[in-house]
Structure 1
Amino acid sequence: MNIYRSSTLGESFQTYAKVTINGVEISRENHIQVKIKQKLLTHNRFEILCPSEAFNEKNSYPLTNSQNLHYTYFSVHLIRFNETTAIFQGVITGVQHRVQDGYPYIILKGQSATHLMDKNINCQTFVNKTLKEIVTAVTDKYKDNRLQVLISPETTEVLPYTVCYNETDFQFLKRLAMRYGEYMYHNGEYLVFGKGNQIRTEISEGEDFQEYSLNVISKPQHFIRQRYDLRNDKVIKEESNQLYYPDQKNLFHVKSVRASEKYSIQPQSGYSAPDLFYGDAQQLERAVQRKKLSHESTILATAKTDNPRLRLGDTMQMNAWTKEKNKLQPIESYRITEIEHSFTEEGYTNHCEGIPFEQKIAPYLDENAYPHIDNQIAIVVDNNDPESLNRLKIRFYWQEEHESTLWVPLMQGHSGGGQGAHVIPEIGHVVWVDFFGHNAEAPIVLGSLYSGNQKSGFHTKNNDLKVFQTRSGTKRIVNDAEGSIKEEDAAGSFIKFEGDGNVTLNVVKNLSIKVGENMNVSVQNDKTERVNHNTYYYSENLSNSISDNKAERIGNYYYQESGNANIQTLKGSLLMRGTTLSVLQGGDDVKISKG
């Protein structure tokens, strides 16, 4: 194997790759090869081939020293005319000992520092945060000189509820980039999320590149998106042809988009996840706008160059030779979306791909890039819905103590305007939660669960009891063993249908009965009333009809008063008797007659 080392060390037009590991340059005295692969949404990947004597182990046991390079930092500087044109930094993630043609080599494999973000899975929620705030919070954990970041997303709106669920930090940011069409990449020095700081490099056919291609494709440009808004109980509809976008500057781009618009006559229809508890009136419009811009990615430029200034995410301004005019002419500018650098005995080259640099939304936009989740258990932390929609705030067990969802819908057995069931779980209750489309950001509470610390207290061997009980102690108990139904309040008053035909009413304090019109009481056998103190009757008229006998026994004083009085016996005698004195007195006269 012939491994090349530039004798000029970057002092001439030939590009030199300076490789440094832990601050020590290994490329000056050793012949090396370098390959660097860069692509959007991925870690930069490196492969450095060097002789084993670079690590003093040519005649030693394999990997004696080089295996200690695991997880050390390195850098690759591309130098031409004594100027550093590009810098690539990374972490060594693999060391390989290889013998070829009898000569030992060491192959160092590495990745960009974004690799450190791809180690441990996390669960986290962000409430009312912008995309920039979310990305900043995630990347701040790596600010100890391991990772430099540039955060400037196109998406600026406040995101009501964003979930990271069982994802590494890198997977989480990658999914957000896909969902909102943001560019995400490591350009060699910085992790870029959003617009970045694109460096424009002019390259010309015959000077910087000999091969290139322009590829034009068609994509649907007309589509309709609909979404149900629970809070306002309406379906929101947005069409892409209702949105206006200024013409792109890239002429190839303009023509391909217009051709695609003619090609897609029938709009594509789609239904977005229902907006259950957040979002605003413009949410769907922004989503459609992103989709429209993403579908305008219809041009792909490729080139093989020897210009060492090109990096992922930067812009290459291309000039191509036209035989017709016998001169170089611009063929537009392109943001590099993928590039592979190679430094060998033949020098430096790269293969790159790019899309029109005006493309604000990344071509990999995926409006369904939601966090996937299965049914979960949660705790109710708030049930006072400010909009009276019977929603809950809940906290999943993987959330921190200070975290919770926004207001989540609660499924009821029956619901409707001014009707249905109204049973809201209490704060602290355990609930079972499902998710629309397995989307962790769209939960819905299906019902409550008992747990080891929250038992009903009504368990029976034969499952005899069906009970509804509130937190104050009011309850309804249906007992299949007795055939009874008991309604009881918190004070202990109850009415019980005994199941044997009897009914018991027990009132701890007072009983009030109010009848709007008539009241009829029918007793087939006996009726007994016992009043320990006083009884009062208030009525306009009182009629008593007794078919047989009437007996009144008064222990002390008996007094009757009326405007007129008429006492008659229709069948027998009238007996009035006083134990001592009897007085019959009239104001004017007294008449006693016979017959």
Structure 2
Amino acid sequence: MAHFADQVKITIDGFSLNVIHSDLIVSQKMADHHHFSFTWYYAPEVVIDPVNQAKALRRYMGAEVIFTFLVNGVRLMSKGIINGLVSIDRNGSPDGINVTGISHTIALDDMKKSRIYLELPLQNIVPGILAEGPSDFYQKEAISPTYRKEFKYLAQYDETSFEFLKRIAFRYGQWFYFDGMRTQFGQLKNSKVKLINNVSLEDFKIQINLTAHKISLGAYDPDNAVNVRSSAMKTSDGSRDSFSGIVGYTQGNISQPELSIGKHTSNAQDKEEIEQMVKLHTAGQDANSVYYSGTSYFPIGLGQVFTIVNGTVEHELLAIEITHLSKLHGNYSCEFKAIPADVTAPHYTDVEVFAKAENQPAKVTDNNDPEGMGRVRVKFNWGNGDTTSDWIRMIQPHSGGGKGFYFIPEIGEEVLVGFESGNIQRPFVMGTEYNGQNKSGYATEKNDLKVIQTRSGNRIISDDETGDVTIESQKGQTIAVIHGDGNIKFKAPKNIEFEAGEDIVMNAGKDVKTNAGQNISESAIINKTTNVGGILGTSVGLDKILNVGGDHNVAIKGNLNKEINKDHTLSTGNKIKSYSESGHETHSQTEIQNNSAESTRQN
């Protein structure tokens, strides 16, 4: 192993001289920030002026640092930002600075945010987020997600952009890391580094981990109203690494074959999603089956694929953790942790991860559900970003096919939104809320009124003080009142119409009164029967007209009395017959005339 002064070079923005250093450590890990530290002997003087030391502390805080590692033609670069400086005092005099720093990814970890992405794939979402960081933070060709499905609804909630990208990478099995100079998302980089054990590689170790890979998940698909399930004992397309194969082969030694009893997940809502979760979980478990570690004297980049030659056996590996070291100025080595390069999902895959959300108010933006499921879209109170949801379901007192309680809030109204299992990806409307700008108008000291009122003003009012139940129209006109004393009143500004396919039966314990401002018309296609137990009285202010198409029969058990103030005219198209069992009397204060066109007979 050779040590050359140019194996490690440090460049600090604003400092033009060669950076003399010791105890350099650059720690790199996938889906995480990189960290570095070193001691910097920034001044050539033996005795350093404290004033100059103070100037250095002020000047280089926040400066960019670039590390260049070059060994036998293998070159690797990494950069970061100084975020900590500590002055060193030795024997009462300044003696350099302890420097600590972090990768540029920290720019995405600066502030928690909440926003929503609708109808977008990761290929569009991720570059947009990375573009919010430094201009040279990423390259488009380095953003190549393997999960290409378009998200109907994806929320970043109370997370920094870095935390959000990390969660999405965990959930959907995407490689996410800072390679030292640029951010990678989705797929991996390749390198041509080959390490030979005991030559360019020392302390080589292989760690095999036997853990259960099995999983069984169940979920609910609300669009199709069905339960969905998926399960697997192990991955079907895992690594071909021999040690990984052993772990897969011996799964039966530590796990039972039973898969029918699984766990619930809120991260899937259809068959495709739950099958994808099972596939990713088993692949992620497979990626944790074997770890390779060691110390290399050639630079290895995080996320790089490299080859280790161990005797006659070669291992193609993927670096998941790297620590670059330079104990003294110039010399270099790195410690690595790696997994087989042909794994099909990252070792940190976690299909159950989600952002936890609490119940919160929102405002309805749309209630015209294209599927007719009574759903609404809402806008959350998360600031000025994209915060409008997809169509979300709403709790009703009762629901079912062709039945239930169908009350949908109006656009602009406030609702309370909950989340299934606390998962930000699964919002639902719990109910509506009044606020200081939108009050019911029915508040009373004793809470006497219970009211249902629609947008147009139609309302049903139940008054616990009077016992009345009132139905009113949109113009404030009372249609019906069920009084607390037992009375019911119907009132219409225009017409009231009753229609029955068969009978209408009306019963009154006492009187039935009918009043009309003008006419009363009755019509029966067949018969009309009127039964009166007492007196039937009819009073007509003008004429009474009776038209009978057939016979007119009158049966009277008592007397028939008629009093006519004027003439009584009787006309018939045939005979007139009058019968009496006792006598027949005709009286007149003047004369009686009997006239016939032919003859007159009286017997």
What's the TM-score once normalised by structure 2's chain length? Answer: 0.88
- After the TM superposition, which of the residue ranges 461-470 and 196-205 deviates more from structure 2? 196-205
Alpha-carbon distance, 1:567 to partner: 4.7
Closer/same/farther in 2, CA of residues 452 and 248 from structure 1, 3 Å limit? same
Amino acid at match of 2:557: L
Closer/same/farther in 2, CA of residues 145 and 389 from structure 1, 3 Å limit? same
Instruction: Please give the secondary structure, in 1, of the residue aligned with 2:271.
Output: coil
Alpha-carbon distance, 1:446 to partner: 1.2
Instruction: Please give the secondary structure, in 1, of the residue aligned with 2:131.
Output: helix
- Aligned to 1:385, which of 369, 389, 405? 369
- Aligned to 2:159, which of 163, 167, 180? 167
CA deviations 1:426-453 (Å, max 9, x no partner) are: 2222111111121111112111111112
Equivalent in the alignment of 2:571: 585
- Aligned to 2:113, which of 111, 116, 122? 122
Equivalent in the alignment of 1:456: 440
CA deviations 1:288-322 (Å, max 9, x no partner) are: 11111111121101101211x211111231112xx
Q: Distance in 1 between matches of 2:114 and 2:295?
A: 42
Q: Is contact 1:230–1:274 with CA below 8 Å preserved after alignment?
A: no
Q: Is contact 2:228–2:270 with CA below 8 Å preserved after alignment?
A: no
- CA RMSD of superposed structures (Å): 2.6
Equivalent in the alignment of 2:221: 229
Q: Distance in 1 between matches of 2:235 and 2:200?
A: 40
- Aligned to 2:431, which of 428, 447, 450? 447
Instruction: Please give the secondary structure, in 2, of the residue aligned with 1:294.
Output: helix
CA deviations 1:101-149 (Å, max 9, x no partner) are: 5551112211111011111111111122222222111101125235557
Q: Distance in 2 between matches of 1:345 and 1:249?
A: 40
Equivalent in the alignment of 1:100: 90
Alpha-carbon distance, 1:218 to partner: 0.7
User: What is the aligned residue count?
Assistant: 570
- Aligned to 1:432, which of 416, 423, 427? 416
- Aligned to 1:63, which of 54, 69, 72? 54
Q: Distance in 1 between matches of 2:296 and 2:469?
A: 87
Equivalent in the alignment of 2:595: none
Alpha-carbon distance, 1:583 to partner: 2.3
- Aligned to 1:207, which of 157, 179, 199? 199
Structure that is richer in strand per residue: 1
Q: Is contact 1:19–1:26 with CA below 8 Å preserved after alignment?
A: no
Q: Is contact 2:219–2:269 with CA below 8 Å preserved after alignment?
A: no
Q: Distance in 2 between matches of 1:559 and 1:203?
A: 121
Closer/same/farther in 2, CA of residues 33 and 466 from structure 1, 3 Å limit? same
Q: Is contact 2:115–2:385 with CA below 8 Å preserved after alignment?
A: no
Q: Distance in 2 between matches of 1:378 and 1:57?
A: 65
Amino acid at match of 1:91: I
Map 1:307-326 to 2 at 5 A. Answer: 307=298, 309-320=299-310
Amino acid at match of 2:90: Q
Larger Rg: 2
Matched, 1:287 2:277: yes
Alpha-carbon distance, 1:58 to partner: 1.8
Q: Distance in 2 between matches of 1:57 and 1:403?
A: 59
Q: Is contact 1:52–1:58 with CA below 8 Å preserved after alignment?
A: no
Q: Is contact 1:131–1:158 with CA below 8 Å preserved after alignment?
A: yes
CA deviations 1:226-285 (Å, max 9, x no partner) are: 22212222221212259732x63322222232223543233565434347xx85532111
Q: Percent identity?
A: 23
- Aligned to 1:136, which of 121, 127, 137? 127
Alpha-carbon distance, 1:422 to partner: 1.8
CA deviations 1:69-93 (Å, max 9, x no partner) are: 1222121111345x57111111111
Amino acid at match of 2:318: R
Q: Distance in 2 between matches of 1:79 and 1:485?
A: 88
Closer/same/farther in 2, CA of residues 56 and 197 from structure 1, 3 Å limit? farther
Closer/same/farther in 2, CA of residues 66 and 147 from structure 1, 3 Å limit? farther
Amino acid at match of 2:409: P
Q: Is contact 2:25–2:323 with CA below 8 Å preserved after alignment?
A: yes
Equivalent in the alignment of 1:336: 319
Alpha-carbon distance, 1:529 to partner: 2.0
Q: Distance in 2 between matches of 1:544 and 1:210?
A: 115
Equivalent in the alignment of 1:575: 562
Closer/same/farther in 2, CA of residues 89 and 56 from structure 1, 3 Å limit? farther
Map 1:185-196 to 2 at 5 A. Answer: 185-196=177-188
Q: Is contact 1:56–1:65 with CA below 8 Å preserved after alignment?
A: no
Equivalent in the alignment of 1:48: 38
Alpha-carbon distance, 1:520 to partner: 3.6
Q: Is contact 2:138–2:184 with CA below 8 Å preserved after alignment?
A: no
Alpha-carbon distance, 1:472 to partner: 1.8
Equivalent in the alignment of 1:325: none
Q: Distance in 2 between matches of 1:25 and 1:311?
A: 27
Instruction: Please give the secondary structure, in 2, of the residue aligned with 1:172.
Output: helix
Equivalent in the alignment of 1:253: 244
Alpha-carbon distance, 1:60 to partner: 2.7
Q: Is contact 2:220–2:270 with CA below 8 Å preserved after alignment?
A: no
Instruction: Please give the secondary structure, in 1, of the residue aligned with 2:335.
Output: strand
Q: Distance in 1 between matches of 2:437 and 2:39?
A: 62
Q: Is contact 1:113–1:147 with CA below 8 Å preserved after alignment?
A: no
Q: Distance in 1 between matches of 2:57 and 2:47?
A: 8
Map 1:265-284 to 2 at 5 A. Answer: 265-267=256-258, 270-274=262-266, 280-284=270-274
Q: Distance in 1 between matches of 2:353 and 2:395?
A: 26
Alpha-carbon distance, 1:202 to partner: 0.1
Map 1:524-539 to 2 at 5 A. Answer: 524-539=509-524
Instruction: Please give the secondary structure, in 1, of the residue aligned with 2:250.
Output: helix
Amino acid at match of 1:420: G
Alpha-carbon distance, 1:388 to partner: 2.5
Alpha-carbon distance, 1:206 to partner: 2.5
Q: Is contact 1:148–1:189 with CA below 8 Å preserved after alignment?
A: no
Q: Distance in 2 between matches of 1:505 and 1:291?
A: 66
Q: Which runs of 5 or more structure 1 residues have no equivalent in the other structure?
A: 1-5, 321-327
Map 1:413-424 to 2 at 5 A. Answer: 413-424=397-408
CA deviations 1:375-425 (Å, max 9, x no partner) are: 111111222222222222222111647542222121122223333222222
Amino acid at match of 1:497: I
Equivalent in the alignment of 1:404: 388
Q: Is contact 1:114–1:147 with CA below 8 Å preserved after alignment?
A: no
Alpha-carbon distance, 1:51 to partner: 1.5
Equivalent in the alignment of 1:183: 175
Alpha-carbon distance, 1:330 to partner: 2.9
Instruction: Please give the secondary structure, in 1, of the residue aligned with 2:249.
Output: helix
Q: Distance in 2 between matches of 1:56 and 1:585?
A: 149
Q: Is contact 2:66–2:78 with CA below 8 Å preserved after alignment?
A: yes
- After the TM superposition, which of the residue ranges 328-337 and 552-561 deviates more from structure 2? 552-561
Instruction: Please give the secondary structure, in 2, of the residue aligned with 1:110.
Output: strand
Equivalent in the alignment of 2:601: none
